C-alpha cells in the first residue's frame, strides 16, 4: 500500500513541475510590458523602470525567473503584486471562498448524482430512467452561464427564494445557488456514470451468487451492486474537485463571488505573472492532492489495488 502511494507521489512530481513550468512559460509569452503599463498615461522614466524590473526579477532569463519563483513557493513567498500587496494575501482571501463553493458543489453532485443514478440504473429503460437521462443531457448541453442566469433570474429575482449575489457575505445560503450552477454539469456526468455502472453490475455473476445465497433484494443492491459501482464514480468525483475550482470563473462572475476566478481574470489582463502563476500553481496542487486522495480511496474501496 505504501509502495503504491509512494509511486503515485513520484509520478505527481513531474506533473507539478511540468504544469507550473508550462503556465509560467505561457504567462511569460503574454504581450505587453507590465512595468510600462504601471506607469499608465504619464509614462515612466527609464531609470525607474530599470529599478522596478530588477526588483521583480524581470530582467533575468526565463528559466532563472521560473526557478527563483519555485524556490519562493517552497518558503511561502508567492511574490508581490505591482501595487505592493503580497500575492499570498490574495491567495488566502480568494481560495477559501472558491474552495467552499467547490466543496458544496461536489457534495450536491455526489448526493444527487449517485442517488438518482442508482435509481435510474435499477430501473433502466423505464420512465424514471428515461426522464433522468433527458434531464442530464439538457443540463450538459445548456452552458453553465445560461443555467446561471436562468436560476438567478427565476429563483433569485422572480421568486426571491435565494440571494442573487454573494459579494462579501459568504455563507451556506448565499453559496447554495452558485453551487448548484457550478455542479450542474458534473451532476449530470455523475448520474450517467452511476447509472451505467449500476446497470452493468446488476448483471454481474457475483450479484447472481449473492441473490442465490438468499439475500434480500435491498441488501444485494446496497452491499453488492452499489458498493462495486461506486468505484469509478469516486474516481471521477476526486478529479472533479480540481476541475470545479479551476472552472468556477464563470459562476463567480455571474454571482459576484470574490474567488479564484475573478482574481485570476484581472491578473491575466494586467499581465501580472506571479499572481497568475501562483494561483494556477495552487490549483495544480489541489488537483494533484485530490488525485492522490482518490488513489487512496480507490485502494480502500478495491482490495485488488492494495497489492499492486
Partner 1 sequence: MRDKLDRIDRPDQSHFFASLDDAVLDEVDVVDETAAPASLWQDAWRNLRRRPIFWVSAVLILSAVVLAALPGLFTKTDPMFCELTRSLDLPEPGHPFGFDKQGCDIFARTVYGARASVVVGVLTTIFVALLGSIVGAIAGFYGRWFDSLLSRITDIFFAIPLVLAAIVVMQIFKQYRGILTVVMVLAVFGWPQIARITRGAVMSVKNSDFVTAAKSLGASRFATLVRHVMPNALAPIIVTATVSLGSFIVVEATLSFLGIGLPPDKLVSWGADIAKASRSLRDQPSILFYPSGALALTVLGFIMMGDAVRDALDPKARKR
Partner 2 sequence: MSRDTFVLEPAVEPDGSEKPLLRIRNLDVSFTTSTGVVNAVRGANITMYRGQSLAIVGESGSGKSTTAHAIINLLPGTGKVTGGSIEFDGRELVGASEKDFVGIRGAQIGLVPQDPMTNLNPVWSIGFQIKEALRANGIATGRAADKRVAELLAEAGLPDAGRRAKQFPHEFSGGMRQRALIAIGLAARPQLLIADEPTSALDVTVQRRILDHLEGLTDELGTAVLFITHDLGLAAERAEQLVVMYRGQVVESGPSVKILSDPQHPYTQRLVAAAPSLASRRIQSAKARGVTTDEVLAVTHGDGVNPSRGELLRVEHLTKVFEIRGAGKGEKEFKAVDDVSFTMARGTTLALVGESGSGKSTVANIMLNLLQPTEGKIYFEGTDLHSLGKAAEFAFRRRVQPIFQNPYGSLDPMYSIFRTLEEPLRIHKVGDAKSREKRVRELLDMVALPQSTMRRFPNELSGGQRQRIAVARAVALAPDVIVCDEAVSALDVLVQAQILTLLNDLQAELGLTYLFITHDLAVVRQIADEVCVMQDGRIVEAATTDEVFDDPRQDYTRELLAAIPGASLDMFGAA
- Report the interface residues with partner 1, using CB under 8 A: 11, 14-15, 18-19, 22-23, 26-27, 29-31, 137-138, 140-146, 149-150, 153, 157, 242-243, 246-247, 249-250, 253-254, 264-265, 268-269, 271, 276, 280, 283-284, 287-288
Least separation in angstroms between CB 172 and partner 1 = 25
10 binds partner 2 (CB under 8 A): no
Cα–Cα distances (Å) from 172 to 13, 42, 99, 153, 176, in that order, read 35, 46, 13, 19, 6
**What letter would DSSP give residue 32?**
S
Considering the complex, what minimum distance in angstroms separates the CB of residue 299 from partner 2?
11
HSE value, Cβ hemisphere, 13 Å, CA-based, for 297: 17
Nearest CB to partner 1, comparing residues 88 and 247: 247
Q: Of the candidates 184, 162, 181, which has an alpha carbon nearest to the alpha carbon of residue 173? A: 162
Which H or E run includes 41?
none
Is the Cβ of residue 140 or residue 305 nearer to partner 2 in the bound state?
Answer: 305
Structure-block grid coordinates of residue 33: 510590458
C-alpha cell at position 62: 526565463
Per CB under 8 A, the list member of 62, 145, 153, 206 interacting with partner 2 is 206
Please identify, using beta-carbon distances, which residue of 78 and 189 lies nearer to partner 1. Answer: 189
Report what 290 binds from partner 2, partner 1, none; CB cut-off 5-8 Å by kind.
none
Which residue lies nearer to partner 1 by CB, 29 or 127?
Answer: 29
The answer to whether residues 146 and 208 touch, using CB atoms and an 8 Å cutoff, is: no
Q: What is the DSSP letter of 224?
A: I
39 interacts with, out of partner 2, partner 1, none, CB within 5 to 8 A per kind: none
Nearer to partner 1, 215 or 289 (CB): 289
Residue 269 in contact with partner 2, rule: CB under 8 A: no
Closest by Cα among 60, 104, 125, 76 to 240:
104
The residue (of 5 and 48) whose beta carbon lies closer to partner 1 is 5
Q: Applying CB under 8 A, which of residues 165, 211, 235, 258 lies at the interface with partner 2? A: 211
Residue 79 region, left (φ>0) first, then alpha (ψ -120 to 50), else beta?
Answer: left
- Applying CB under 8 A, does 307 fall inside the site for partner 2? yes
15 interacts with, out of partner 2, partner 1, none, CB within 5 to 8 A per kind: partner 1
Would you count residue 200 as binding partner 2 (CB under 8 A)? Answer: no
Positions 218 through 247 that interact with partner 2 (CB under 8 A): 219, 223-224, 227-228, 231
Q: Rounded to an integer, what distance in angstroms lies between the CA atom of residue 182 and that of residue 56?
A: 36
Q: In the 8-state DSSP scheme, what is residue 162?
A: S
Q: Label residue 247 exposed, middle or buried (CB < 10 Å: 0-12, 13-18, 19+).
A: middle
> What are the backbone angles phi and psi of residue 167, rounded to the nearest 5°?
60, -135
Please provide residue 86's backbone torsions phi and psi, each rounded to the nearest 5 degrees.
-70, 140
**Site residues for partner 2 per CB under 8 A:** 203-206, 208-217, 219, 223-224, 227-228, 231, 301-304, 307
Amino acid at each position: 500500500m505504501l509502495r503504491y502511494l509512494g509511486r503515485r507521489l513520484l509520478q505527481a512530481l513531474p506533473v507539478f513541475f511540468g504544469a507550473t513550468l508550462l503556465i509560467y512559460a505561457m504567462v511569460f509569452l503574454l504581450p505587453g510590458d507590465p512595468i510600462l503599463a504601471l506607469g499608465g498615461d504619464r509614462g515612466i522614466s527609464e531609470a525607474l523602470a530599470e529599478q522596478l524590473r530588477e526588483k521583480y526579477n524581470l530582467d533575468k532569463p526565463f528559466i532563472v525567473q521560473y526557478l527563483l519563483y519555485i524556490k519562493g513557493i517552497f518558503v511561502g513567498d508567492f511574490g508581490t503584486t505591482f501595487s505592493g500587496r503580497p500575492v499570498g494575501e490574495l491567495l488566502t482571501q480568494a481560495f477559501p471562498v472558491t474552495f467552499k463553493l467547490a466543496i458544496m458543489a461536489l457534495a450536491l453532485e455526489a448526493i444527487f448524482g449517485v442517488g438518482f443514478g442508482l435509481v435510474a440504473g435499477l430501473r433502466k429503460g423505464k420512465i424514471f430512467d428515461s426522464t433522468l437521462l433527458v434531464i442530464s443531457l439538457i443540463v450538459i448541453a445548456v452552458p453553465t452561464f445560461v443555467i446561471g442566469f436562468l436560476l438567478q433570474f427565476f429563483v433569485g429575482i422572480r421568486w426571491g427564494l435565494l440571494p442573487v449575489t454573494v459579494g462579501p457575505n459568504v455563507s451556506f445560503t448565499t453559496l447554495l445557488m452558485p453551487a448548484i450552477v457550478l455542479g450542474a454539469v458534473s451532476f449530470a456526468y455523475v448520474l450517467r456514470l452511476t447509472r451505467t455502472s449500476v446497470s452493468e453490475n446488476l448483471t454481474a455473476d457475483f450479484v447472481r451468487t449473492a441473490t442465490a445465497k438468499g439475500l434480500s433484494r435491498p441488501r444485494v443492491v446496497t452491499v453488492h451492486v452499489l458498493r462495486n459501482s461506486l468505484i469509478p464514480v469516486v474516481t471521477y468525483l476526486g478529479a472533479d474537485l480540481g476541475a470545479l475550482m479551476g472552472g468556477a470563473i464563470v459562476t463567480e462572475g455571474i454571482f459576484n463571488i470574490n474567488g479564484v476566478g475573478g482574481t485570476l481574470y484581472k491578473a491575466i489582463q494586467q499581465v501580472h505573472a506571479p499572481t497568475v502563476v501562483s494561483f494556477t500553481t495552487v490549483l495544480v496542487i489541489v488537483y494533484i492532492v485530490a488525485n492522490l486522495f482518490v488513489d487512496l480511496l480507490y485502494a480502500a474501496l478495491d482490495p485488488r489495488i492494495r497489492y499492486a
